[in-house]
Chains A and B, each alone.
Chain A
């Protein structure tokens, strides 16, 4: 049970991190940087 919970939490953590990085990367690539909280830096 605990192992399953760990698996699911890890999966969500990894994927969330990926999409967070993706948002920063794609917007920066277009010259539209973001702050850490994803608000526009410009």
Chain B
């Protein structure tokens, strides 16, 4: 009966989502200006059309160009408007990424718990959600603050965006309410829907939560991508297409994919830090083992999601170049190009920290001794590739230094500063990180299948030939053929890396079927490994702030690229130093808020012992829950 009641509620929720989505995609309400007259008449009053007008007159009136505000149209609040929006938007995006990502892997872990009938998965998934639920409120607070800041500080831009997107923004608001409702039911109903049919209702709610969350994300992404590469409007910014044409700009799907994957990696890293904090603070061996396992799972999620991320980023940059070469060159060939060196440092930090955690974690099982000899070679390759990646092409030099060097490029290292060398380095770093994963996963297993030798031979051959292929195409097509072949060969490198990862996962799944399992001792890991888990979210956060700045800066002096000029006092690309300070401020603020979330999550599991129950112990002694 209970399950039926929940199913009924679920059915209503599903119907509501379908109704909202139908409204969203329906052909009858797809004209942006039609949206406006219904919901945002005040903002888009100029678009209203009297019934008796001819079609030609209607068209003429409807095509309202983008506004051309003067500097006086931007309110002066005494501090840089851009800096205010920068900080608030970035914090909203950090928390938004976290709360959208966590339910994604929580659902998978919960499902794993159902299939394995191991309640530890369920407990871990529930605890991950505990972090997400606190972060959700903060996300909403920053979202509201961002909206207020934008409407206050950039009124003309927001009026234009409201006119272009119209009721789609209302759909966003409805989806947000739906997300809140489903999220709270999903979290607070966890124990009420833990077994039997009710569990499937709970899983369905998780699926619904993720569907709504993903829709929210792609909806918001369309606003950012419209500002970078507007579609559905003419050269003066007048809306000429329906809402679908406005949304599906050339950069929408690359951003959708990139953010989707990045969010998972980011979410995994943040909850990993929570697990590390709890592991270090654990007072019992049982609690330490639990949080060690939780930290391992988080790192697994973060790094596994991170592996395909450079390819999604590559696609995004390729689409940016295809849309506007000028925009692409601004990003990667001008002043912003230096930020990609910082990006390399941060990604290198992430990969080194992730690998170090795995190598340290191998001490949990005695079976790892078979593989420990490989670690030093993996470390050497990672460091060499990291150094190649951070080698700049053009150095910022004085005339004296240029004379001493014989040019602005180093005669030997200059060759490492261009993309072919960096592509080789990135792909090898990803392959060797996967190798760390693979040997870690194999550490506590002994294969029992008859074709073990053949399977291992195949895996080793895939690694070696893929590495040779990546280096060959990178060097040959990158340095000895024309640019078209150079760019085309990078796809070979991507597919070679993916071949290693996919074949490694598939092959091991069959090779270690019915394998003998060696004992693993969770909690038997150095504290240093836990500090590596702290490094991950900080590097991820800084990286997101950095690349968000690059993505936004490529619009240069445009609010909406080529359509609506930014005439505010901040209509220039800030210096790298200034941008670096801003990124650091938002990263520090985010870390402080995350620490607050961890504290709150910890506080909810803490019970004060009643004073009358303890005669000798201090009255304020607390009992920590490990669940």
Residues of A near any B CB (own CB < 8 A): 4, 7-8, 10-12, 14-16, 18-19, 22-23, 26-27, 30, 32, 38, 40
Contact = CB atoms under 8 A, between A and B. Distances in A.
B495 A27 contact: no
B460 A27 contact: no
Given A15-B465, A16-B465, A8 B457 contact: yes
B473 interface: yes
Contact of B465 (A4, A8, A19, A30): A19
A30 to B, nearest CB: 5
Interface band, chain B = 20 to 34
A11 B485 contact: no
Contacts of B469: 19, 22-23
A34 B279 CA distance: 54
B508 to A, nearest CB: 16
Nearest to B491: A26
B42 interface: no
B461 A30 contact: no
Interface of B: 453-454, 457-458, 460-462, 464-466, 469, 473, 476-477, 481-482, 484-485, 488-489, 491-492, 495-496, 499
A11 B484 contact: no
Closest 9 CB pairs of A and B: A11-B457, A15-B461, A11-B461, A32-B488, A15-B465, A12-B461, A30-B488, A11-B458, A19-B469
A42 to B, nearest CB: 8
Contacts of B461: 8, 11-12, 14-16
A26 B496 CA distance: 11
A19 B496 contact: yes
Contacts of A10: 457
A40 B269 CA distance: 43
A8 B462 CA distance: 11
Nearest to B472: A38
Nearest to A38: B476
B617 to A, nearest CB: 65
Given A11-B458, A12-B465, A22-B495, A27 B489 contact: yes
Nearest to B489: A27
Contacts of B481: 40
19 contacts: A4-B453, A8-B457, A8-B461, A10-B457, A11-B460, A11-B461, A15-B461, A18-B499, A19-B466, A19-B496, A22-B469, A22-B492, A22-B499, A23-B492, A26-B495, A27-B485, A30-B491, A38-B476, A40-B481
Contacts of A30: 488, 491
Nearest to A17: B465
Nearest to B469: A19
